[in-house]
């Protein structure tokens, strides 16, 4: 039965929530300059709000598991929508191996180290290995945005972090059972079913949703982001209802939708980014409130030992074995190993043993909490430095051109808005050199907050916003031509650049 909530209680809860959000945002602003990860700020706010300081009581680990899992789905939807297919398409094979076999290897190596170095039982060691076995999508996406990496390397790391949460959760649920460890056959069968069914549902929802949204002319542009995000959540819920992996379903559905050239893509991405930040903030603050400062002190030593095993042995071994067939350079392997950041995912997964009544569940949660906080601080800030030392950074690399789409129902056309990136091949071109598909025209240019209709000899500048009117049948060709010019300039066709990948 739901307990009734009075209006004064609602007002107080909303006030506390909004103040928490604003304080967290202000803290992020301050710590960003120091290169500190955002999750540490959120966890710190949660600890301050908890029993140890402010005194808000929250000890419901099962509720935290439910809320945390849903928040993870929202974060993965945001990650899928922001991931460009041409960045990860060539990396799906190695990323999939890392996300499945790599997680298993990492879990086993971590469990062996935990058992023999700390004397924990095999079940406890396997559970903690599974809990910290996957990288965290939110942490990885956040840190990679500040590092200029080659497309194939960033695509590998992003795809792995989006795909490996599901196998880790399956392993935790299997190992944390009060009935004991499952047989190898049952475990493999569960993994195959949940991953295959979850992936199929996610792809089906994404493709069907993209097909539908392309044919709907919604009356308000703000409905498009809401529809896209609802489809991602629907994939998560449908897969979970069928005992499949909702996390992988949500990520793949969002990945398909984010790369389907839907109307108002930029608005959808902005909406997803904001909702993803709210999910991260709420989840980390909630997890911080579960922590007891006094209890965390006893977990420091085992957390440091297990974290060292994971960072210095388990992760490098899993990366080396999984990337062996793909002949990746040793520099890339070192960076991929170091970039295996842990964040909210392990802390959320560490709440599962509480619901299964596993012996030592509280101790396990405290160990994971300390491990994530310490090793995120150690691994996150040096990533840009490490990329430079390994000669992997590419700070001058031009990323993808951001093209927004808005439908024009009256003339069966669409307006594409594209901003000329700094240092791209578009900067310096005259309008007649664009040679867009016949039927697509540059209707206007916005430059320094001034809108004007350009002459054919007008030279484009960095920061110009182009407004291109095109019929739907030419939209893809127009986008590809603009992308090709952005990458290779006026010699795009001669250099074989087509803007497709």
* CATH 3.30.70.1450 segments of the chain: 403-491
Question: Domain 403-491 carries which CATH code?
Answer: 3.30.70.1450
Given this model, what pLDDT does residue 265 score?
74
Given this model, what pLDDT does residue 113 score?
95
Given this model, what pLDDT does residue 323 score?
93
Given this model, what pLDDT does residue 131 score?
92
> What is the 3-state composition of the chain as percent helix, strand, coil, each rounded to the nearest 5?
65, 5, 30
Of the candidates 348, 373, 291, the one whose C-alpha atom is nearest the C-alpha of residue 46 is 291
Given this model, what pLDDT does residue 1 score?
43
pLDDT along the chain (501 residues), means of 10: 66 78 70 62 76 71 85 86 78 89 93 94 92 80 69 83 85 81 80 90 94 77 84 93 90 90 76 81 80 78 93 93 91 89 82 85 88 84 84 61 60 78 86 87 87 88 88 84 85 76 59
Dihedral sign, CA of 367, 368, 373, 377? positive
Length of the chain (residues): 501
Question: What is the b/e burial string over 72-99, where b = at least 16 CB atoms within 10 angstroms of the residue's CB?
Answer: bbbbbbbbbbbbbeebbeebbebbbbbb
Given this model, what pLDDT does residue 215 score?
78
Q: How far apart are CA 404 and CA 118, in angstroms?
A: 54
Given this model, what pLDDT does residue 4 score?
64
Q: How far apart are CA 421 and CA 400, in angstroms?
A: 9
Question: Measured at the alpha carbon of residue 477, what is the angle toward residues 267 and 421, in degrees to the nearest 5?
Answer: 55
* CATH 1.20.1530.20 segments of the chain: 61-389
Q: 61-389: what CATH class?
A: mainly alpha
Given this model, what pLDDT does residue 308 score?
93
């Amino acid at each position: 039965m739901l307990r009734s909530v009075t209006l004064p209680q609602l007002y107080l809860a909303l006030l506390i929530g909004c103040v928490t959000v604003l304080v967290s945002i202000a803290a992020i602003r301050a710590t960003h300059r120091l290169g500190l990860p955002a999750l540490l700020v959120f966890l710190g706010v949660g600890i301050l709000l908890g029993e140890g300081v402010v005194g808000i009581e929250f000890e419901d680990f099962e509720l935290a598991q439910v809320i945390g899992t849903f928040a993870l789905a929202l974060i993965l939807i945001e990650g899928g929508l922001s991931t460009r297919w041409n960045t990860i398409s060539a990396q799906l094979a190695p990323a999939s191996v890392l996300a499945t076999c790599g997680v298993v290897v990492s879990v086993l190596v971590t469990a062996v180290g935990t058992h023999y170095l700390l004397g924990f039982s095999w079940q406890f060691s396997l559970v903690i290995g599974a809990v910290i076995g996957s990288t965290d999508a939110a942490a990885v996406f956040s840190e990679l945005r500040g590092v200029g990496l080659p497309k194939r390397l960033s695509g590998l790391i992003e795809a792995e972090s989006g795909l490996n949460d599901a196998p880790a959760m399956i392993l935790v649920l299997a190992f944390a059972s009060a009935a004991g460890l499952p047989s190898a056959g049952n475990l493999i069968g569960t993994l195959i079913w949940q991953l295959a069914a979850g992936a199929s549902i996610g792809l089906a929802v994404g493709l069907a949703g993209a097909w539908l949204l392309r044919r709907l002319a919604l009356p308000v542009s703000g409905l498009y982001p809401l529809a896209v995000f609802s489809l991602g959540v629907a994939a998560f819920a449908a897969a979970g209802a069928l005992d499949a992996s909702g996390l992988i379903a949500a990520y793949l559905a969002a990945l398909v939708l984010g790369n389907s050239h839907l109307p108002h893509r930029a608005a959808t991405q902005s909406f997803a980014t904001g909702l993803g930040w709210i999910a991260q903030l709420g989840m980390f603050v909630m997890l911080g409130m579960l922590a007891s400062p006094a209890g965390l002190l006893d977990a420091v030593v085992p957390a440091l030992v297990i974290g060292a095993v994971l960072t210095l042995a388990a992760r490098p071994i899993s990366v080396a074995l999984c990337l062996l067939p793909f002949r990746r350079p040793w520099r890339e392997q070192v960076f991929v190993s170091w970039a295996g950041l842990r964040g909210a995912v392990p802390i959320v997964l560490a709440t599962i043993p509480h619901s299964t009544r596993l012996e030592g569940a509280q101790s396990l949660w405290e160990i994971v909490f300390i491990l994530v906080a310490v090793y995120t601080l150690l691994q996150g800030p040096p990533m840009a430095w490490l990329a430079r030392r390994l000669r992997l950074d590419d700070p001058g690399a031009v990323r993808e051109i951001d093209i927004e789409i808005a439908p024009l129902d009256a003339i069966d056309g669409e307006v594409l808005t594209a901003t000329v990136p700094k240092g791209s091949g578009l900067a310096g071109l005259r309008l007649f050199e664009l040679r867009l598909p016949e039927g697509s025209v540059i209707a206007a240019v916005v430059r320094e907050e001034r809108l004007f209709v350009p002459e054919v000899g007008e030279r484009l500048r960095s920061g110009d916003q182009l407004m291109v009117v095109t019929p739907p049948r030419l939209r893809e060709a127009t986008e590809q031509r603009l992308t090709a010019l952005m990458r290779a300039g006026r010699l795009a066709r001669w250099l074989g650049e087509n803007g497709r990948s």
